Amino acid sequence: VATLRLESVDLQSSRNNKEHHTQEMGVKRLTVRRGQPFYLRLSFSRPFQSQNDHITFVAETGPKPSELLGTRATFFLTRVQPRNVWSASDFTIDSNSLQVSLFTPANAVIGHYTLKIEISQGQGHSVTYPLGTFILLFNPWSPEDDVYLPSEILLQEYIMRDYGFVYKGHERFVTSWPWNYGQFEEDIIDICFEILNKSLYYLKNPAKDCSQRNDVVYVCRVVSAMINSNDDNGVLQGNWGEDYSKGVSPLEWNGSVAILQQWSARGGQPVKYGQCWVFASVMCTVMRCLGVPTRVVSNFRSAHNVDRNLTIDTYYDRNAEMLSTQKRDKIWNFHVWNECWMIRKDLPPGYNGWQVLDPTPQQTSSGLFCCGPASVKAIREGDVHLAYDTPFVYAEVNADEVIWLLGDGQAQEILAHNTSSIGKEISTKMVGSDQRQSITSSYKYPEGSPEERAVFMKASRKMLGPQRASLPFLDLLESGGLRDQPAQLQLHLARIPEWGQDLQLLLHIQRVPDSTHPRGPIRLVVRFCAQALLHGGGTQKPFWRHTVRMNLDFGKETQWPLLLPYSNYRNKLTDEKLIRVSGIAEVEETGRSMLVLKDICLEPPHLSIEVSERAEVGKALRVHVTLTNTLMVALSSCTMVLEGSGLINGQIAKDLGTLVAGHTLQIQLDLYPTKAGPRQLQVLISSNEVKEIKGYKDIFVTVAGAP
């Protein structure tokens, strides 16, 4: 019988990629998911004879492939597919060609593989032929895979959707930011594996690192460390200052693709700059691309509790100025992290499902700046002993806030002890909708409920041990440090605050009975101060002060108008456009103080985007962008950036010059969509005065020539 020679191979990537939900990455290359068969057609020099011709398949990944490490697999042609091991089966012979089904186990190592066959006849020598390469990914469609998610609706959202929203701002004025994840753009899959190959684990022991890439917990931790650049040549360099002149302001990114492409093109130099929402959005792109269901989550008033005592202290002086402290503890206005969906075989039963992963470099875990996976269920139940980094995430959503009055460098009295001011409005994008979904109840029981306090005590005992009773603020609380107050104070806005306008506030005061002054009038001095509120929860120097003196009779209510002029805050705010107005009312009779706070978020001008006709692949789509400058000042050096996977290849940038106060800017341009299905166009207009005027438009693109 003539020797059997391989003459050609068809990897059938178009059919396979479609069946494996990877066709969005393109069909030029074979990209498949583990735990699911894919098909090849081999053409030989003569018909294949199963009794004489022996074919051995060899699949290899990583630098030193080894069967012991799980990075090399050899398997033979069999009639029946064995369970959850590498196999070639279900074959049919058609003249000189062989159609065969290859199966990868649901716990196989993910990565770039080479595939070859060895052909031998009888006892003769074997000849090796390369078949080509393929990429193997996690498979959330497979019940055997640790990332299995049994809902097609959720899979469409958390794997297939390539755009979404990040929630920012403040618990009382949550703003939604459109973001282009773009996980299916052409080179993103290669960049994801490049990220894994630049990690410290890989550089230290490449073969061992690759062998652990079958484990989603391991891969998540590596990615979490690699998105920031604190220990390694990670993707993004953080910057929480105000000087972004050496890079791009974190506010000016529209999506992940430009960041990942720049990192790769410059040989792994960290991209400048990121803050939490940029880190988390880029991690979402990488994890969805690798096949792990992932979402982006925002936590408003998020504690960063370095000493793990479940308490964050903030300080004000008698003039109501919020003071900076030497302590590293802080309360972010909001903080953004990821949740990835997986089975936790490393934990006791009951902790599967969503897990927190946080790529923002806040503190180290096992020596590297990474965080998670921490089970959301473990956080809700206070099971802070479970891996990984659960105490840190628990404190982010549950710490108490204690506000102190500082005088002569000493803490003089407690102005407030808030048990429910941290971990508010925990939010993510709603499935299949542009709306925001609150998921606070997944992280904790209702504030103040018996379950919530019981969980807090359980977590406290585990985190603080028996020494908890000796904390100084608890002594003060026990001694009645927070006695009842003779008046209630509230600050209200008299109208919607807009950037460029004077701000009008009302101080509302009501005299209430208390133990020291049961019935008599009281004299109050209220000192006010306004400061720019930073994303990290700190403030800048005051730009407005005001003092009010009043007598308040028993049972009386009064309102006092306050004006904060635009000229005071005009050049004083950060890009976040947040103001904290604080007031400290001193009761002259007793010298005791009361605190009143109001955070104000200023509205930027509104952007509108209209699309004139139906969108179709390859056909011009006219887009109209309109911006009216509602401010009292001109917007100078305006630039516009458009982005949207499947609509635009990369980005479109335009310089728009100056937009005079009260005037309207109208821009028209044509896009040529490249992919069908639901798409999102993101538009960012930036100026010297307002860094972030964002808008988006959902666009459904039909297939070319569809009726």
Give pLDDT tens digits for 102-124: 999 999 999 999 999 999 987 77
Cα 624 to Cα 425: distance, rounded to the nearest angstrom: 34
% the chain with pLDDT above 90: 81
- Catalytic residue numbers read 276, 335, 358
Measured between its terminal Cα atoms, the distance across the chain in Å is 56
Looking at residue 690, what is its pLDDT? Answer: 87
The band of 307, judged by pLDDT with boundaries at 50, 70 and 90, is confident
Of 251-265, 304-318, 466-480, where does mean pLDDT reach its minimum? 466-480
pLDDT at residue 467 is higher than 50: yes
Predicted pLDDT of residue 479? 41
Domain 152-461 identical in fold to domain 484-601:
no
400 is annotated as contributing to ligand binding:
yes
* Neighbouring C-beta atoms of residue 267, cutoff 10 Å: 9
Confidence of residue 190 (pLDDT cuts 50, 70, 90): very high
Question: Under CATH, which number does the domain 152-461 receive?
Answer: 3.90.260.10
Is residue 338 a contact partner of residue 158, using CB atoms and an 8 Å limit?
A: no
Average pLDDT over residues 560-564: 97
pLDDT of residue 516: 64
Where exactly are the structural domains of the chain?
6-137, 152-461, 484-601, 607-701
**Cα–Cα distance measured from residue 511 to residue 99, given in angstroms and rounded to the nearest whole number:** 86
pLDDT at residue 468 tops 70: no
pLDDT tens digit string along 136-159? 999 999 999 999 999 999 999 999
Q: Confidence class of residue 353 from pLDDT cuts 50, 70 and 90?
A: very high
CA-CA distances (angstroms) from residue 143 to 137, 140, 342?
A: 15, 8, 12
User: Residues, the chain, total?
Assistant: 707
DSSP string across 674-689: -S-EEEEEEEEEE-SS
613 is in an annotated binding site: no
Q: List, in order, residues 6 or more apart from 535 with CB less than 8 Å away.
A: 240, 275, 332, 333, 334, 574, 576
Give the model confidence (pLDDT) of 229-273 as tens digits.
998 899 999 999 889 999 999 999 999 999 999 999 999 999 999
Secondary structure element (H or E) that encloses residue 567, with its range: helix 566-569
pLDDT average, residue stretch 505-528: 85
Assign domain 6-137 to its CATH architecture: Sandwich (2.60)
Q: How confident is the model at residue 475 (pLDDT cuts 50, 70, 90)?
A: very low
Q: Write out the CATH class of domain 607-701.
A: mainly beta
Angstrom CA distances, 642 to 168, 255, 304, stand at 20, 10, 34
In this predicted structure, the answer to whether residue 469 has a pLDDT above a threshold of 50 is no
Element (H, E) at 288: helix 276-290
For residue 351, the cross-strand partners are: none
Q: How far apart are CA 535 and CA 15, in angstroms?
A: 48
Q: What is the pLDDT of residue 208?
A: 98
List Cβ neighbours of 40 (8 Å cut-off, separation of 6 or more): 9, 10, 11, 12, 99, 100, 102, 131
Neighbours of 540 (CB within 10 A): 16
> Quick check: 352 pLDDT over 60?
yes
- Return the pLDDT at 513: 75
Residue 35, pLDDT score = 98
Helix axes 257-265, 276-290, angle to 10 degrees: 80
What is the DSSP code (8-state) at residue 479?
T
For 410, residues 6+ apart whose C-beta sits below 8 A from its C-beta are none
Cβ-proximal residues to 203 (8 Å cutoff; 6+ apart), any chain: none
Task: Compute the average pLDDT of residues 25-51.
Answer: 96
Residues 470 and 476: beta-carbon distance below 8 Å: no
The answer to whether 478 is a known ligand-binding residue is: no
Question: Maximum CA pair distance of the chain?
Answer: 114
What's the pLDDT at 481?
Answer: 43
- Known binding residue 514? Answer is no
Cα separation of 68 and 201, whole Å?
19
Between residues 326 and 101, which one has the greater pLDDT?
Answer: 101
Q: Looking at residues 645-673, what average pLDDT do you find?
A: 96
Given a contact cutoff of 8 angstroms between Cβ atoms, the answer to whether 304 and 362 are in contact is yes
The pLDDT of 64-82, averaged and rounded, is 95
Q: pLDDT confidence of 392, banded at 50, 70, 90?
A: very high
Judged on CB neighbours under 10 Å (0-12, 13-18, 19+), 674 is middle
Instruction: Domain 484-601: give its CATH architecture.
Output: Sandwich (2.60)
Average pLDDT over residues 293-299: 98
The rounded distance, in Å, linking the Cα atoms of 566 and 492 is 18
Do the Cβ atoms of 299 and 337 come closer than 8 Å? yes
* CA distance to 296, 297, 483, 659, per residue, from 277 (Å): 8, 9, 40, 29
pTM for the full predicted model: 0.95
- In 276-399, which ranges are E strands? 294-304, 311-316, 322-323, 330-342, 353-357, 374-375
Question: Could you tell me where the beta strands, DSSP code E, fall in 467-511?
Answer: 487-493, 503-511
375-387 CB burial, b ≥16 within 10 A, e <16: bbbbbbbbbbebb
Average pLDDT, rounded, for the chain: 93
* Segment 510-529 mean pLDDT: 83
Look at residue 518 and tell me whether its pLDDT is greater than 70.
Answer: no
